[in-house]
Amino acid sequence: MSGVLEGTVALVTGASSGIGEATATALAEDGAVVVLAARRRDRLEQLAERIGGGTEKVLVLEVDVTDETQVNRMVADTVGRFGRLDTLVTQNIDGLHDRAGSRNVLKLHGDIWTVRCTGCGRESHDDRAPLPDLPPRCECGALLRPAVVWFGEFLPPGVWSKAEHASARADVFLIVGTSAVVHPAAGLIDVARMAGATTVEINPQATPYSDAVDYALRGPAGEILPTLL
């Protein structure tokens, strides 16, 4: 065992195949903690025993890697278990990161499932669809609005400050599924680069930052992310 990958976590999908087994074996020999993912748990457990001899260095996840929802949960579970992802900054307002189990999510553009009173400013979670009463009103009588950032509005200052701080202290900064043209959010890439982070872009198409990042990986996030984590 060379140990060159000591301290890293490798998530191997399709691990029950011959190629998957060879890849997992090589990663384990280099010192990585290997997480095996495939549909049949019995075959995974046999493979884990062959590679790791029953140690905690080889773990198994039973998952259908063709199912995007299961892949999202697989990534979130793996990241959560090993603490590989410190902060997730998103411009999405749909709440899907929460449903996937992601932690430490900073929502730059707000959350469509949160309502804010236009009078008293109170915010509350509301996932009813459709809303029973239109227009919706707060207990104070004023109208409720989605707690999202509309055009011309400022980003939530507390959230933005945390996003800048997280970007500035990141060792690795992943830019996933974004055109990188919406500012100020795209500026976080510069914050991370100037602080010395390794920057990795994952996107089907090139972006204005593709030539500036350390690595630009082309393809769907659901396919590339599991191979990185």
CA atoms within 13 A on the CB side of 192: 25
How confident is residue 1, by pLDDT bands cut at 50, 70 and 90? very low
Residue 146 has pLDDT above 90, yes or no: yes
- Burial of residue 14 (CB within 10 Å: 0-12, 13-18, 19+) is middle
Greatest mean pLDDT among 47-61, 64-78, 167-181 lies in 167-181
- pLDDT of the residue at 111: 94
Burial of 187 (0-12, 13-18, 19+ CB in 10 A): middle
Q: Which of 97, 109, 165, 183 does the annotation list as catalytic? A: 109
Other CB atoms within 10 A of residue 42 CB: 10
The whole-number pLDDT of residue 229 equals 60
Strands 110-117, 144-148: pairing is antiparallel
DSSP 100-151: TT--SEEETTEEEEEEEETTT--EEE---SS-SSSS-B-TTSPBEEEEE--T
Q: 162 exposed, middle or buried (CB, 10 Å; 0-12, 13-18, 19+)?
A: middle
173/192 Cα distance (integer angstroms): 7
Is residue 97 annotated as a catalytic residue, yes or no?
Answer: no
Tokens representing 186? 């795209």
Burial-class residue 75 by CB neighbours within 10 Å (0-12, 13-18, 19+): buried
- Polymer length of the chain: 229
pLDDT: which is higher, 44 or 69: 44
pLDDT class for 145, splitting at 50, 70, 90?
A: very high
- pLDDT exceeds 70 at position 4: no
pLDDT at 25: 76
Express each pLDDT in 110-144 by its tens digit.
Answer: 999 999 999 999 999 998 888 888 999 999 999 99
Q: What is the pTM of this model?
A: 0.61
**Percent of the chain at pLDDT exceeding 90:** 27
d(CA 19, CA 4): 21
